[in-house]
């Protein structure tokens, strides 16, 4: 069965303040990089999921994200499936 890597990216809801992101943005501007207009600080989880398909791996990742990895009151999450992981011979 293939092994998939799914990233769960958790960020604060857009309507909420993000003090960490604001601090990073201010530091970037002090360093002279004024092209950066917004920073949202969050967390990324890299999940390795054994599944029959990318769709099945995504279902498992979404379930874990909804139940455990984010707080729906103050955070949102997105899933990213880069590519199946290379298989190692058994």
- Would residue 14 count as lying in a domain? yes
Whether residue 88 is predicted with pLDDT greater than 70 in this model: the reply is no
Q: What is the pLDDT of residue 7?
A: 96
Whether residue 11 is predicted with pLDDT greater than 90 in this model: the reply is yes
Is the sign of the CA dihedral 54, 60, 62, 65 positive or negative?
Answer: negative
Count of domains observed in the chain: 1
Q: What is the pLDDT of residue 53?
A: 92
- Would residue 67 count as lying in a domain? yes
Helix (H, G, I), strand (E, B) or coil at 48: strand
CATH number of the domain residue 48 falls in: 3.30.1280.10
- Decide if 16 contacts 72 (C-beta within 8 A): no
- Would residue 86 count as lying in a domain? no
- Would residue 64 count as lying in a domain? yes
Whether residue 89 is predicted with pLDDT greater than 90 in this model: the reply is no
Range of the domain at 76: 3-80
Whether residue 82 is predicted with pLDDT greater than 90 in this model: the reply is no
Could you report the per-residue pLDDT of 18-58, keeping only the tens digit for each? 999 999 999 999 999 999 999 999 999 999 999 999 999 99
- Would residue 85 count as lying in a domain? no
- Would residue 87 count as lying in a domain? no
- Would residue 18 count as lying in a domain? yes
């Amino acid at each position: 069965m293939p092994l998939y890597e799914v990233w769960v990216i958790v960020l604060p809801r857009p309507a909420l303040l993000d003090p960490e992101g604001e601090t990073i943005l201010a530091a970037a501007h002090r360093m002279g990089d004024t092209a950066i207009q917004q920073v949202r600080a969050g967390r990324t989880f890299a999940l390795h999921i054994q599944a029959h398909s990318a769709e099945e791996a995504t279902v498992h990742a979404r379930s874990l994200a909804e139940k455990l990895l984010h707080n729906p009151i103050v955070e949102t999450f997105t899933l990213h499936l880069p590519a199946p992981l290379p298989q190692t011979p058994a």
